[in-house]
Homo-oligomer: A and B are copies of this chain.
Amino acid sequence: MRQSVENAVAVCPVEVAVAVLGGSWKLTVVKHLTGGTMRFGELRRAVGPVTPRVLTRQLRDLEADGIVSRTVFAEVPPRVEYALTELGETLRPAVVWLDEWGAAYADREVSQGRP
């Protein structure tokens, strides 16, 4: 278990969720993978302004935490595919809920003139 997750386990369950999902782009990656298996390049284009280095690190964390699976196909060049694990699939309701909440939050901020 990653150290930050292990620390959170000793503190509070909601903090465990934050330790697993709280990093930048992680929930956005999970959101896009709810649509099915994707390759690194597809993910990178879908997520948007993320560098390959940061996306690689976040995917590695999500893999270590059991949320995402990484499959390497022995082709030339090698093909690498990412998908949600069974555990990752359990996050679907949270992603939908937080996506809606975030959209309403953004609308509210913009309409109140605090862009």
Q: Is A26 in contact with chain B by the CB < 8 A criterion? A: yes
Q: Is the CB of A23 within 8 A of B22?
A: yes
Q: Per DSSP, are chain A's interface residues mostly helix, strand or loop, or mixed?
A: helix
When distances are taken between beta carbons in the complex, the residues of chain B under 8 Å from A108 are 87
Q: Is A54 in contact with chain B by the CB < 8 A criterion? A: no
Bits for A14-36, please: 1 = Cβ < 8 Å to B, else 0. Answer: 11111011111111100100000
Q: Is the CB of A28 within 8 A of B11?
A: yes
> How many residues of chain A get a CB closer than 8 Å to chain B's CBs?
47
8 A Cβ contacts from A59-115 to B: 66, 87, 90-91, 93-95, 97-103, 105-106, 108-110, 114-115
